[in-house]
Structure 1
Amino acid sequence: MLYAAISLFIIFLDQLTKFYAIKMLKGNEPIIIIRNFLQLNYVENFGAAFGILQNKKVFFVIMTLVVIIGIVVYMKTNTNLTFSMKLALAMVIGGAVGNLIDRIRLGYVVDFVDVNFWGIYDFPVFNLADSFIVIGTIILMYLVIFNKYEN
């Protein structure tokens, strides 16, 4: 139940920030937070990470549902998972559902966090759901590599 609450909180936070991104940024100039590094910039992403596979909405919806169902089944059938493993999986689920809501409701994912490493590298624009998916995945990789995912 705790992990469902964590996923729901991530979904809520993601959708709330996207609501404000649409309201404050869409059709407006980016808001600079740290010059030449961080700004809030509204982008409609019709693809996946880094803008790949543009306009493949049905594919992304199906794949996201398969991944979410797979994670839930995995969590239900493996009762000896560590707290860290369950937390990481809850983060991935929350982020995946946050972006899934956008794809179904809008036909694209709202991105707004724009990081540019002082002109050296302009990182693709992302959102909080993406952040939780990446952080959760990094934690998962660590836990699996070092065999720390089960009690």
Structure 2
Amino acid sequence: MNYFIIIALLVAIDQVFKYLVESYLKPIGTFPIIKDVFHLTYGQNTGAAFSILQGKQAFLITVTSIVTIALIVYLIKNYKTQNYLLLISLTLVISGALGNLIDRVRLNYVVDFLDFTLINYPIFNTADIFVVSGTTLLAYFMLLASPNNSQKEG
């Protein structure tokens, strides 16, 4: 399986959604999918998760670039011998990081649009879903996965 094709596909999906949000949601602000539960709400985030490090774009771009390059190098060097769960988790994290990095470089902010109004949760985007999912899988791999059950056949 070529993980770089998956990365390209996930980044493209993220960028298409964000383009549609910029084009169609930005002018109206919010659109309830399920009123008072889940809305599509346009947001610009100049920080990281939960809007920490607001306005620190140069720092966020630098750190994201370094971490993403390191993960890509690791993926290239280890894609034949490593665990599928590890490779999928890295693929998801890289995809999400690249999706948000493209926004930061291109727009100087990250486009957010998924809004769970029922629980007053911060607005987020598809790239965030990829990063959180990948990080969760990575944590599972590191803490709980049995190396004997999840090794790739070689």
TM-score band by shorter chain is: over 0.9
Contact 1:82–1:148 under 8 Å retained in 2: no
Q: 1:144 aligns with which of 135, 142, 145?
A: 142
What letter is aligned with 2:96?
A: G
Which residue pairs with 1:24 in the alignment?
A: 24
Which residue pairs with 1:52 in the alignment?
A: 52
Structure 2: distance between partners of 1:11 and 1:124: 22
Deviation at 1:83, TM superposition (A): 1.3
**Aligned-partner SS, 2:62:** helix
Which residue pairs with 1:109 in the alignment?
A: 110
Deviation at 1:148, TM superposition (A): 4.0
Q: 1:135 aligns with which of 117, 133, 151?
A: 133
What letter is aligned with 2:111?
A: V
Structure 1: distance between partners of 2:29 and 2:21: 12
CA RMSD of aligned residues (A): 1.4
What letter is aligned with 1:66?
A: I
Structure 2: distance between partners of 1:95 and 1:130: 6
Bigger CA drift: 54-63 or 22-31?
Answer: 22-31
Contact 1:31–1:40 under 8 Å retained in 2: yes
What letter is aligned with 2:53?
A: L
**Aligned-partner SS, 2:22:** helix
Give the structure-2-normalised TM-score. 0.90
Deviation at 1:84, TM superposition (A): 1.6
Deviation at 1:43, TM superposition (A): 0.4
Which residue pairs with 1:94 in the alignment?
A: 95
Deviation at 1:9, TM superposition (A): 0.7
Structure 1: state its 5+ residue gaps.
Answer: none
Identical amino acids, percent of aligned pairs: 39
Structure 2: distance between partners of 1:116 and 1:41: 10
**Any idea what the Cα deviations from partners look like across 1:40-88, whole Å, max 9, x if unmatched?**
0110100010111100001111111111111122223334211121111
Deviation at 1:20, TM superposition (A): 0.3
Give the structure-1-normalised TM-score. 0.92
Deviation at 1:27, TM superposition (A): 2.7
Q: Determine whether 1:8 maps to 2:8.
A: yes
